[in-house]
């Protein structure tokens, strides 16, 4: 992690660019969103995609804010992925034109997706299936279906080696009169820090994926779209020439790149030019030992799922991040020099920005070095587990 910290701090933007002029008036911990950097990261992604916004289907589990989703739409991005019904609702409200619910939904959750799709008839909403039984729950709904493939992540999907079963599943979708949208293949488990090794592993997955597409074509089933590649897979897909096929549209789906975090900045080639666009603003609140300070940003603030250290302190390469508790984050000074004083503001770059954003109800919107607005984290958490009407109906049945 030391090499990662030094790499992050080598960015020219990691200095005074992120200092908030009115930080002394901010209740910490706080989430700060630097909209100029957000726009720069969106522009960087589009440049990598030859300025073709139709090639990007970002996952909005990172964006979370309606404001950010609208900025993507403003840049011409209208195809999205999401994980929850609240994210689906928010991105539809923000102007999304084509949204895939890229997490399996069943029962009331599936019905809620149908309800939102009916609320936004101009938006093309689709879902994932991995077996013929799951096709039937979408039969009466105007929802398109992607086949979810399991390329070895073993989280969801049908294993890529089950070629015959994949063809049977596609036929079941078509036979049910449902729009077959294509193939969804998330190779998120391929995050080898060694980029050439990661590319080789990803290209093996892509070769198998195109064998599936070929098998479907031979069965008379066209594959309109193939979706791959979150953030670690982005450089792998950009170097796979066979995705430039006239038979289908290939879209990548990185979402973390919009805000960036310490992990993604290490995974992506530095020449791409991504910059941090979301930081946690924190205050030093204690000096419990000679070489230790503590700030008010524990694991209820900064996601701890990436392990320790869970962040980088911008501008302070001498500070090593120790294990957090609920509200506290201790920092160890390795050089024996002066420590940041109690009351001093620090700026933290998370290792995993997506769940960190989800920890906040509001975000400070930073323009020209100061707070320009406060925006709700619109798609934070989930919708209520039951709608008021469901409760009324339950009472009536009694």
Residue 12 lies in a domain: yes
Residue 36 lies in a domain: no
Please check the confidence at residue 289 and state whether its pLDDT lies above 60: yes
- Considering its fold, how many domains does the chain have in total? 2
How large is the average pLDDT for residues 170-195? 96
Q: Are residues 68 and 189 in the same domain?
A: yes
**Reduced to 3 states, what is the DSSP secondary structure of residue 362?**
strand
How large is the average pLDDT for residues 251-261? 98
Residue 306 lies in a domain: yes
Q: Are residues 154 and 213 in the same domain?
A: yes
Read off the pTM.
Answer: 0.93
Q: Are residues 14 and 98 in the same domain?
A: no
Q: Are residues 110 and 248 in the same domain?
A: yes
Residue 323 lies in a domain: yes
315: left (phi over 0), alpha (psi -120 to 50) or beta: left
Mean pLDDT of the chain: 93
Residue written as token pair 């080696």: 161
Q: Which residues contact 108 (CB under 8 A, 6 or more apart)?
A: none
Q: Are residues 334 and 221 in the same domain?
A: no
Q: What is the pLDDT of residues 194-249, one digit of tens each?
A: 999 999 999 999 999 999 999 999 999 999 999 999 999 999 999 999 999 999 99
pLDDT of residue 25: 96
Q: Which residues contact 114 (CB under 8 A, 6 or more apart)?
A: 141, 143
In the chain, % of residues over pLDDT 90: 89
Q: Are residues 192 and 312 in the same domain?
A: no
Residue 63 lies in a domain: yes
How large is the average pLDDT for residues 179-194? 96
pLDDT of residue 141: 87
Residue 381 lies in a domain: no
What single string gives the DSSP state of each residue in 12-46? GGGSGGG--TTGGG--SSEEEEEHHHHHHHHHHHH
Integer Cα distance of 62 and 59 in angstroms: 7
Please, which pLDDT band fits residue 335 given cuts at 50, 70 and 90?
A: confident
Strands 30-34 and 278-289: antiparallel
Q: What is the pLDDT of residues 108-130, one digit of tens each?
A: 999 999 999 999 999 999 999 99
Q: At what angle do helices 66-74 and 85-93 cross, to 10 degrees?
A: 50
Integer Cα distance of 20 and 32 in angstroms: 9
Measured between its terminal Cα atoms, the distance across the chain in Å is 58
Q: Which residues contact 4 (CB under 8 A, 6 or more apart)?
A: 262, 263, 265, 266, 312
User: Lowest-confidence range among 33-47, 279-293, 334-348?
Assistant: 334-348
pLDDT of residue 9: 46
Burial (0-12, 13-18, 19+ Cβ within 10 Å), 307:
exposed
Closest residue by Cα to residue 236 from 186, 272, 196, 194:
196
CATH assignment at residue 26 = 2.40.37.20
Strands 370-376 and 362-367: antiparallel
Strand blocks (E) in the chain = 30-34, 79-82, 98-101, 124-129, 144-150, 158-159, 180-185, 225-228, 249-252, 278-289, 292-295, 311-313, 319-321, 329-333, 345-350, 362-367, 370-376
CATH assignment at residue 188 = 3.20.20.10
Residue 222 lies in a domain: yes
Q: Are residues 154 and 223 in the same domain?
A: yes
Please, which pLDDT band fits residue 391 given cuts at 50, 70 and 90?
A: low
Q: Are residues 95 and 217 in the same domain?
A: yes
Range of the domain at 285: 2-31+272-376
Q: Are residues 167 and 302 in the same domain?
A: no
Instruction: Give ∠ CA 46-102-209 in degrees, rounded to 5.
Output: 75
Q: Are residues 245 and 322 in the same domain?
A: no
Please check the confidence at residue 64 and state whether its pLDDT lies above 50: yes
Integer Cα distance of 236 and 231 in angstroms: 10
pLDDT of residue 394: 59
Q: Are residues 211 and 282 in the same domain?
A: no
Q: Which residues contact 101 (CB under 8 A, 6 or more apart)?
A: 81, 82, 83, 85, 88, 113, 125, 126, 127, 128
Q: Are residues 198 and 289 in the same domain?
A: no
In the chain, % of residues over pLDDT 70: 93
Q: Which is more confidently placed, 2 or 55?
A: 55
For residues 252 and 57, the answer to whether their CB atoms sit within 8 Å is: yes
Residue 44 lies in a domain: no
């Amino acid at each position: 992690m030391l090499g990662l910290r030094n790499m992050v701090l080598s960015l020219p933007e990691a200095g005074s660019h992120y200092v908030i002029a009115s930080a002394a008036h901010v209740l910490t911990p706080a989430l700060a969103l630097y909209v100029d950097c957000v726009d720069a990261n969106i522009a960087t992604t589009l440049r990598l995609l030859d300025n073709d916004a139709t090639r990007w289907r970002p996952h909005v589990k990172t964006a979370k804010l309606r404001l950010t989703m609208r900025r993507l739409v403003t840049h011409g991005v209208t195809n999205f992925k999401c994980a929850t019904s609240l994210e689906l609702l928010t991105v539809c409200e923000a102007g999304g034109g084509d949204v895939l619910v890229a997490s399996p939904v069943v029962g009331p959750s599936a019905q809620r997706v149908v309800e939102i799709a009916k609320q936004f008839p101009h938006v093309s909403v689709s879902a994932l299936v991995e077996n013929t039984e799951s096709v039937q729950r979408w039969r009466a709904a105007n929802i398109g279906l992607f086949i979810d493939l399991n390329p070895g992540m073993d989280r969801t999907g049908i294993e890529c080696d089950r070629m015959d079963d994949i063809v049977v599943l596609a036929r079941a979708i078509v036979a049910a009169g449902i729009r077959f949208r294509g193939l969804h293949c998330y190779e998120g488990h391929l995050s080898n820090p060694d980029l050439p090794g990661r590319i080789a592993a990803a290209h093996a997955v892509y070769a198998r994926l195109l064998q599936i597409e070929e098998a479907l074509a031979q069965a008379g089933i066209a594959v309109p779209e193939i979706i791959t590649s979150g953030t670690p897979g982005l450089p792998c897909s950009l170097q796979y020439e066979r995705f430039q096929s006239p038979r289908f549209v290939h879209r990548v789906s990185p979402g973390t790149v919009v805000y960036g975090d310490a992990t993604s900045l290490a995974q992506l080639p530095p020449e791409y030019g991504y910059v941090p666009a979301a930081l946690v603003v924190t205050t030093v609140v204690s000096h419990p030992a000679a070489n230790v300070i503590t700030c008010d940003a524990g694991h209820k603030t900064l996601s701890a799922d990436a392990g320790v250290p869970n962040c980088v302190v911008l501008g302070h390469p001498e500070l090593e991040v120790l294990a957090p508790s609920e509200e506290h984050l201790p920092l160890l000074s390795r050089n024996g020099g002066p420590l940041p004083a109690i009351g001093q503001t620090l700026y933290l770059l998370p290792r995993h920005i997506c769940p960190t954003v989800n920890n906040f109800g509001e975000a400070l919107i930073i323009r020209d070095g100061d707070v320009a607005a406060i925006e709700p984290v619109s798609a934070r958490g989930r919708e209520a587990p039951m709608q008021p009407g469901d409760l009324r109906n339950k009472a009536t049945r009694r």
